[in-house]
Amino acid sequence: MLPLKWISIAAALFGASVASAQTRLTGAGATFPEPLYKRWVAEYQKTQPQITIDYQGIGSGGGIKGIIDRTIDFAASDAPMSAAQIQLVGGEQNLLEIPTCSGAIVPACNLPMAGDLKFTADLLAKIYLGKITNWNDPAIKKLNSSLSLPNLPITPIYRADGSGTNFVFTSYLAAQSEEFRESIGIGDQVQWPLGQGGKGNPGVAAAIQQIPGSIGFIEQNFADQNNLAYGSVQNRAGNFIKATPATVSAASAAAQFQGPLLAANIWNHNADNAYPISTFTYLIVYRNLNNMRSPQQAQALAGFLWWATHDGQKIAADLDYTPLNPAAVQRVSEALAGLSYRTNALQRPQ
Amino acid sequence: MSQPTPRPSLLTPDRILAILTKAAASTILLMLAALLIILTLAALPSIQTFGRNFLIGHDWRPNEIQQSLHAQSGQTEIKILPPSFGALPVIWGTAVSSFLAILFAVPLSFGAALFLVRATTRWLAEPISFLIEFLAAIPGIAFGLWGLFILCPFLQQHIEPPLNAAFRAIPGLTWLSTTNALSGHDMLAAGLILAIMIVPIITAISRDVLAAVPPAQVQAAVALGATWWQTCQEMLRHARSGLFGAVILGLARAAGETMAVAMVIGNSNRINLSPLAPAQTMSSLLVNEFPTAGDLHRSALMEIALILLVMSLLFNITARYLVVGKPPQVQTP
Amino acid sequence: MTPSTHNSLAAAKSRLMFALCALSTTAILALLILAIATTISTGAHSLNRDFFRLNPIPPGMDHSPGGMRSALLGTAILVTLASLLAIPIGLLTGIYLAEYDTTSHLATPVRFVCDVLAGVPSIVVGILGYELLVRPLGSFNAWAGAAALAFLMIPIIARTTEEMLRLVPASYREASMALGAGKAKTIFQIVIPAAAGTVTTGIMLAIARAAGETAPLLFTTLLSQSLNPNQPFPSLTVQIFDYATGASRPQQSLAWAGILVLVSLIFVMNLGVRLATRARR
């Protein structure tokens, strides 16, 4: 009878999942590096077919929550964990935050001249505060006098979910605009006075595609993949910089990693050529991997982290993310050497 | 030879079945209890922190803000505003989108129900009823897709610009217009897609309720010379509590719908009087924000889920009483 | 007003209202046809063999976005697991409400709560699943998803089973009892077979509902491309949601194809239910 057949299929699958030699890992978090991580996972699985890794982009906030709750094996976040969050896992010594690459957050717009627009932090803050509501506003014209800006209302698009991209963008604006800092503030999720929300980087990209005159902050890769044009942003040195691997590199080159957690904030960097809204993106794991179920799983995760920060860096460059520079790779390798499975040491990769 | 009467064993099939069925039935009660208890426990921190302000507060702010106050003495103090959660914008969102859904759906549904009951023959009513029931079975994600890719662009390009202009032009209706760019992702879109979703339910129940009006009532009206519409009015009046119950059930479905709304409403946690501005409902807020970290934030979201649950329970209980629970009316000649 | 004017006014109004009612019905059907036609024309585009054969492929690796094989299998497994839980509990509850009603104080509250539970928003059920079966187990998983779906299916199965069993004439039961059969034997060998066709339709409706749910799965199974029940699990509805809310056109086309498959499945099940019910008359 019908139910019996389905019962046996289910039992077989369950049995297969328990008895198989497959080692499985689950990761979740930022949508910023999602295209890269999904590609890494696919490539890594080709080299290690007995390992299956699943990565889902649910937002940096979701990833951090998952690692705190131990519902996932590794988390991905653009924002380093906050002090309060670190407290929830018992302190810095229990975690490792590994930068995997850096990238740029770009102001993509749905306008014909979007690629030529020049922005300052003050301008962006005012747009998101609702103080500048139309593209033909004098403040925008002053900066972009060579462009003929239309009489079109500006629709700011923001992230509806908890997001490291949001954290970086609000940090950048708060550092330069007191009004922004004091009315909206910094966070994974903040309260925006106007505009429309999209879910994840893809959702924001979709919203920008749909609304003429909209502006949204998304990771550069999403903008390029979906043919959304973005302008240049003024950095601390006063130059208008467009996001490219070179300009992001300029921001990440002199990154000072603080403390055992290897977190470094690289936005608003003062180098001449630095793109001002750059960020590292991190993979977060427990230092003693005690949320792993077996030594094989711990070894698999350590192996993947090693591969991603070494062999995987070439792929990062292909997808328009900025790879780690040699000094960063050195620091990361040292940190990864500190991973253990509970109290046992892990095999060092070649 | 007479055998002694065997003592009844405790584990006869009858006894086993009685125990199993009773256990299964008790599971139903357990399920409701679990919902209420678990959600209340999870929402407790938020209830205790925010109290009544949760229901009337405007601000949904998951992050803390540091403000520097320049005191007159010339010193700068740092004032820290902790995260604050006020659910009024999403309660408003759910209420208005459901209200709009009812506004659009009820005339269509009652009209279709009357038509099915009083104007069609069997061979026409059957397939139409089947199609309407099929529409009722289509899941919310399908409506979400239709809303996102068909309705919203259509609204954005053809309906909302003239509508907005009309609102602005008509004195007394200017408060319905908006100065934002029109994206098609707003309260109006949510109301329309919800209306299409609940039309089948209201139609099906109304049709059943109207069909249950005693034929004697209908024939009496016709005998007295009533027109088709006047007879319909009699039927509507007679069945009004059941019809009201149908509307409440539709309202409950609209208020609880998640996917269709989340994809078209614009995700803006603000109260805006214009239906042409983006908004947020309780369920779309949960979809967007639940995966985030933060204990107080999650507790606040649990409180929203609790409000949603209690609201749907109240609607369903009311509707059940109206549609099913009333004793049949006995008409005295 | 002379009677004749009044009558012709009323008659005109009646004709107008009749036309409006006819228009309402037509409008509803027209909307349905528009929606289905668009689904078929847009979805059929991407509904090729690859859709059923391939798993989703991350963008940038290949030109095609792949297919939804994992999602289809995922939904099939989730609904099967949910049915394993929901059908026994639902059937037994339905039997209780139909056959033990007069001898119990439990029946009235259970019936009431059943109806009320059927209207609970599915997102709330998903949140319950997260609190009870995701956090304690340490990960999103298929069991929590199946349990959430079962939660939604049980009231439907219970109520339709009860109603169908009630339709079986009392004489069947009385005859069976008179011949010496116990209650259990009567129920399983006489009453249920008599109502088997229609009880199955109730189960099919519940399965169709479970297959179409998205919100509860978002909080219990999340999404993945691999079929490990102890980890995030794929499902058709969540995969559609993921692809539809992104900006990639190929992925959006896949979402349309997925909706076409889902809606077709529900159509077939509803048609089956309708035909079965009509055959019973």
* Annotated domain spans of chain A: 4-103+260-266+275-345, 105-245
Predicted local distance difference test score (pLDDT) of residue B332: 33
Is C14 part of any domain? yes
Q: Under an 8 A CB cutoff, do C61 and A39 touch?
A: yes
Q: What span, in angstroms and rounded, lies between the C-alpha atoms of B54 and B270?
A: 15
Residues A285, A339: contact at Cβ < 8 Å?
Answer: yes
Phi first, then psi: what are they for C157, rounded to 5°?
-65, -40
Is the domain of C32 the same as that of C135?
no
Q: Under an 8 A CB cutoff, do A225 and C230 touch?
A: no
Is the minimum CB–CB distance between C123 and chain B shorter than 8 Å? yes
Mind telling me how many Å the CA of C110 is from chain A's nearest CA? 27
Q: Is A209's pLDDT higher than 50?
A: yes
Is the domain of C23 the same as that of C129?
no
C-alpha closest to that of A70 among C223, B293, C228: B293
C-alpha closest to that of B263 among B94, B147, B95, B138: B147
User: For residue C135, which residues of chain A lie inside 8 Å, CB to CB?
Assistant: 69, 71
Per-residue confidence band for A80, with pLDDT thresholds at 50, 70 and 90? confident
Is C63 part of any domain? no
Is C98 part of any domain? yes
Output B163 or C180, whichever has higher pLDDT. Answer: B163
Is C64 part of any domain? no
Is C80 part of any domain? yes
C-alpha closest to that of A323 among A102, A77, A80: A102
Mind telling me how many Å the CA of B70 is from chain A's nearest CA? 13
User: For residue A70, which residues of chain C lie inside 8 Å, CB to CB?
Assistant: 138
C-alpha closest to that of A276 among A80, A79, A107: A107
Tokens of B82: 């902790």
Q: Under an 8 A CB cutoff, do C246 and A203 touch?
A: yes
Is the minimum CB–CB distance between B27 and chain C shorter than 8 Å? yes
Mind telling me how many Å the CA of C197 is from chain B's nearest CA? 18
Closest CB from C59, C81, C134 relative to A71: C134
User: For residue C77, which residues of chain A lie inside 8 Å, CB to CB?
Assistant: 9-10, 13
Predicted local distance difference test score (pLDDT) of residue B173: 86
Q: Under an 8 A CB cutoff, do C247 and A206 touch?
A: yes
Mean of pLDDT values over A270-282: 87
Is the minimum CB–CB distance between B134 and chain C shorter than 8 Å? yes
CATH number for the domain that contains residue C240 = 1.10.3720.10
Is the minimum CB–CB distance between B58 and chain A shorter than 8 Å? no
Closest CB from B59, B180, B280 relative to A155: B180
* pLDDT 10s digits, B128-142: 888 988 999 999 999
The fold of the A4-103+260-266+275-345 domain, in CATH, is: D-Maltodextrin-Binding Protein; domain 2 (3.40.190)
Is the minimum CB–CB distance between A195 and chain B shorter than 8 Å? yes
Is C149 part of any domain? yes
The fold of the A105-245 domain, in CATH, is: D-Maltodextrin-Binding Protein; domain 2 (3.40.190)
Query: C60: phi > 0 → left, psi -120 to 50 → alpha, else beta; which?
Result: left
Q: Do domains A4-103+260-266+275-345 and A105-245 have the same CATH topology?
A: yes
Query: What is the domain range of residue C120?
Result: 69-280
pLDDT averaged per 10 residues, chain B (length 333): 61 84 92 95 92 89 81 75 90 95 95 89 86 91 94 93 91 85 91 95 91 88 87 89 90 93 92 92 92 78 94 88 52 34
Is the domain of C33 the same as that of C164?
no
* pLDDT 10s digits, A88-134: 888 888 888 899 988 899 999 999 988 889 999 999 999 999 999 99
Closest CB from B278, B292, B297 relative to A196: B278
Is the minimum CB–CB distance between C246 and chain B shorter than 8 Å? no
Per-residue confidence band for A19, with pLDDT thresholds at 50, 70 and 90? very low
| CA atoms within a 13 Å half-sphere pointing along the CA-CB vector of C68 | 33
Nearest C-alpha in C relative to B21? C92
Is the minimum CB–CB distance between A176 and chain C shorter than 8 Å? no
User: For residue C14, which residues of chain B lie inside 8 Å, CB to CB?
Assistant: 227-230
Predicted local distance difference test score (pLDDT) of residue B122: 82
User: For residue A186, which residues of chain B lie inside 8 Å, CB to CB?
Assistant: 63
Is the domain of C21 the same as that of C125?
no
Q: Which chains touch A (3 or more CB pairs under 8 A)?
A: B, C
ipTM, interface predicted TM-score of the complex: 0.90
Is the minimum CB–CB distance between A196 and chain C shorter than 8 Å? no
C-alpha closest to that of B132 among B162, B151, B111: B111
Per-residue confidence band for C5, with pLDDT thresholds at 50, 70 and 90? low
Q: Is A49's pLDDT higher than 70?
A: yes
How many contacts does B have with C, using Cβ atoms within 8 A? 255
Q: Is A84's pLDDT higher than 60?
A: yes
Q: Is C13's pLDDT higher than 60?
A: yes
Q: What span, in angstroms and rounded, lies between the C-alpha atoms of A222 and C59?
A: 11
Residue B323 DSSP symbol: I
* pLDDT 10s digits, C206-239: 999 999 999 999 999 988 888 888 888 999 999 9
Q: What part of C 3-42 touches B (C-beta under 8 Å)?
A: 10-11, 13-18, 20-25, 27-29, 31-32, 34-35, 38-39, 42
Q: Which chains touch B (3 or more CB pairs under 8 A)?
A: A, C
Q: Domain count of chain C?
A: 2
Is the domain of C26 the same as that of C85?
no
Is the domain of C83 the same as that of C41?
no
Predicted local distance difference test score (pLDDT) of residue A348: 61
Is C84 part of any domain? yes
Is the minimum CB–CB distance between A28 and chain C shorter than 8 Å? yes
* pLDDT 10s digits, B283-332: 999 998 887 656 788 899 999 999 999 999 998 888 887 776 543 333 33
Is the domain of C16 the same as that of C81?
no
Q: What pTM, to 2 d.p., does this model score?
A: 0.88
- 3-class secondary structure, A265: coil
User: CA angle A337-A340-A345, nearest 5°?
Assistant: 85
CB-based contacts of A131: which residues, under 8 Å, 6+ apart?
none
Residues A153, A134: contact at Cβ < 8 Å?
Answer: yes
Mind telling me how many Å the CA of B248 is from chain C's nearest CA? 11
Residues B234, B247: contact at Cβ < 8 Å?
Answer: no
User: For residue B65, which residues of chain A lie inside 8 Å, CB to CB?
Assistant: 181-185
Dihedral, B50, B53, B57, B62 alpha carbons, nearest 10: 0
Q: What span, in angstroms and rounded, lies between the C-alpha atoms of A98 and A113?
A: 38
Mind telling me how many Å the CA of C264 is from chain A's nearest CA? 21
Is the minimum CB–CB distance between B135 and chain C shorter than 8 Å? yes
User: For residue B39, which residues of chain C lie inside 8 Å, CB to CB?
Assistant: 124, 127-128
Is the minimum CB–CB distance between B196 and chain C shorter than 8 Å? yes
Q: Is A2's pLDDT higher than 50?
A: no
